[in-house]
Amino acid sequence: MLLVCGASQARDFRIGLITPPGHQWTLAAEAFAAAVARRYPGEHRVLVYPSRQLGTEAQMLQLLQTGALDFAILTVSELSNRLPRFGALYCPYLVANAAEGAQLLQSPEAGALLKNLPEDMGVVGAGYAMAGMRQILSREPLKEAAQLAGTKLRITPFAPVRDFYQLLGAAPTPMPLSSVFDALANGQINAIDMDMESIWKLRYYHYGDTLLLSNHMLFPAVGLMSARNWLRQPQALREALLALLREELDAVLGRYPELEQQWRTQLASTDLRLRPAGRAFFGPAIGEWRRAWYPHAPELTDLEAAVARLRAETRKKSQAEATAP
């Protein structure tokens, strides 16, 4: 909608998401809208459309491309479906936990993936957010990876995750977030690949026996702006909007590691069995995934080097703190 306010043109921008109200990405979109309202009072507004009100992520990407939508916060999976190089971010055990994931997503190496989006994608990247690390919630007791063989396990619909579970012999079942609760409740699926926030807030734990605390994969999100609409805005405005969105995405990265711990503590107070698991749980599937995906996403080497550098910096910092007088 175009609103005309005196001499200046006021605009209503729209931002779309698949996540429900109360989810960290939706909170980030609302904080972005509030920041724009503070910066441009009575002039520009951002209207937030959560819970797939504007369609699936694939549909929102199309809306961004045509200029019918201004902004979106999407799972990186939607980009990786079109640009396999983003698959590198899903390498199992690329990072150890959400804190490392947040650092990696703020590194120049991860930034480079987003900076060079091909023109025909029709979007401009503002930055990354995330939904922390992936875990496995199972309706049945889960003690070893062999039990996943043949298990109908819900995944976000995209190739890197599908391949991981196929290598484990599971039956990966692609399904949007909005369908997961019913499918888990009625036994259409036996397990889900999910983040701690959704398991807690969307109450998936009600139907689980075991929560495998595997931290096996990072789950990044990306803030995008329509390139077509970007070009229509004066440079100062578009840069200000992107910077405001980036600030809120960074804030999600900053708070997620601690929030994840809180959700874990809350889940520990339920009837769920919490079972920590590391790379050894998944056996050769991790190396096999890397061998299969490296040719599609050679940027993985840069991300691995970034993680090694970040770990060395963290070690140096904690040594300096330990020896400080």
* Residue numbers at the binding site for ligand BEZ (CB under 6 A): 18-19, 75, 131, 156, 177, 194-195, 198
**Burial letters for 297-312: b for 16+ Cβ neighbours within 10 Å, e otherwise?**
bebbebbbebbeebee
Find residue 220's DSSP bridge partners.
Answer: 130
CB of 305 to ligand BEZ, least distance (A): 28
| 146: number of Cβ within 10 Å | 9
Closer Cβ to ligand BEZ, 18 or 136, answer by number:
18
Distance from chain centroid for Cα 38:
27
Closer Cβ to ligand BEZ, 168 or 227, answer by number:
168
CB of 319 to ligand BEZ, least distance (A): 36
By the 10 Å C-beta count (0-12 exposed, 13-18 middle, 19+ buried), 292 is classed as middle
Closer Cβ to ligand BEZ, 87 or 233, answer by number:
87
**CA 182 – CA 128 distance, rounded (Å):** 30
CB of 92 to ligand BEZ, least distance (A): 16
Rounded-to-10 torsion of CA 1, 56, 133, 183: 140
CB of 167 to ligand BEZ, least distance (A): 19
Closest CA to 53 of 67, 69, 30, 32: 69
CB of 185 to ligand BEZ, least distance (A): 16
Which residue, judged by CB position, is nearest to ligand BEZ in the bound state?
156
CB of 311 to ligand BEZ, least distance (A): 26
**CA 300 – CA 4 distance, rounded (Å):** 48
Angle at 162 between CA 101 and CA 202, to 5 degrees: 65
Closer Cβ to ligand BEZ, 249 or 310, answer by number:
249
CB of 9 to ligand BEZ, least distance (A): 34
SS (H, E, C) 31-62: HHHHHHHHHCCCCCEEEEECCCCCCCHHHHHH
